[in-house]
Amino acid sequence: MKTCILTILLLISGKLFAQKTMEVKTGILQFRYYEDYSVLQADPSVREGGYTKYFASGNEIMCTGFYKNNLKDGLWVEYRYNGMVEDSGYYKQDKKVGIWAAYKSSGMLQIMYDYTKKDLLYLKRDSDYKTKIYTVIDSAGKKQTTLDRPPVYLDGESAFDRTIGSNVIYPAKARESQIQGRVFVGVTIDEQGNITGYRLIKPLGYDCDESAVNAVKALHGKWLPGILDGKPVKVEYEVAVSFTLAL
């Protein structure tokens, strides 16, 4: 009996020791942000506890959340530079669960989606949604048409714009030649919401095209497919990437 109790106490004390954490503060990563988080003392490669990411330009918070055994777990909130919430919701073992809310760049609620039930609860449509033309791809080829609902990027407009803006690189060749303009990139989203290809629709040249495509490829959030006549369809979604020289 004594041996059994001693064994239990040793197991409990070992577990408590393993869960002790220490704080880690990184330097600037890729000149974009700082990180502040905790790791296990017993294994510093394992994140455990609170996490905060800061924009590299100052002390503005970019993201807050929690880790459990190196996996995202609990409430996570992403922020814009101005402090407005970009999106928020819960993770369970590194997967989004329950209802997440995503916002437009203006701060207006854009999307509410239940990741557990896979149910779109709310979508703030653009004012031109009834007349905007999209390219639908099927076995007969491509056709231009309006949609019941265009493909939806579930992280929201704000995250969409920030991700592209933070990943686009102004090529030296374009800067030297004072080239400005927009590159249009087509993203093919299939009936399941998977990205199946990228296409350069309108190039700009001077190495801007490759930079624009790479920035669009940095969008890693989940998509919902476009809907036509009540059914999901494969759609080429057009993204404009701007290159503007500072005055």
CA distance 174 to 169: 10
In CATH, what number is assigned to the domain containing residue 164?
3.30.1150
Q: Do 130 and 246 belong together in one domain?
A: yes
Domain for residue 8, yes or no? no
Domain boundary among 124, 148, 172: 124
Residue 237 CB contacts under 8 Å (≥ 6 apart), including other chains: 134, 150, 151, 186, 187, 188, 189, 226
Q: Are 155 and 221 in contact (CB under 8 A)?
A: yes
Q: Do 30 and 136 belong together in one domain?
A: no
Q: Do 134 and 118 belong together in one domain?
A: no
Number of domains in the chain: 2
Domain for residue 5, yes or no? no
Furthest C-alpha separation in the chain: 83
The amino acid that residue 4 corresponds to is C
- Burial class from Cβ neighbours inside 10 Å (0-12, 13-18, 19+) for residue 159 reads buried
Q: Do 69 and 87 belong together in one domain?
A: yes
Q: Do 84 and 180 belong together in one domain?
A: no
Q: Do 145 and 112 belong together in one domain?
A: no
Domain boundary among 124, 145, 161: 124
SS3 77: strand
Domain boundary among 89, 124, 159: 124
Q: What is the pLDDT along the chain (247 residues), one digit of tens a residue?
A: 434 433 333 344 444 444 677 878 775 555 578 899 999 999 999 999 999 999 887 678 999 999 999 999 999 999 998 889 999 999 999 999 999 999 998 999 999 999 999 999 999 999 998 899 999 999 999 999 999 999 999 999 999 999 999 899 999 999 999 999 999 999 999 999 999 999 999 999 999 999 999 999 999 999 999 999 999 999 999 999 999 998 6
CA distance 185 to 182: 10
pTM for the model: 0.86
Domain for residue 235, yes or no? yes
Give the H or E element holding residue 158: helix 156-167
Domain for residue 7, yes or no? no
Q: Do 108 and 154 belong together in one domain?
A: no
Q: Which structural domain, as residue segments, surrounds residue 229?
A: 126-247
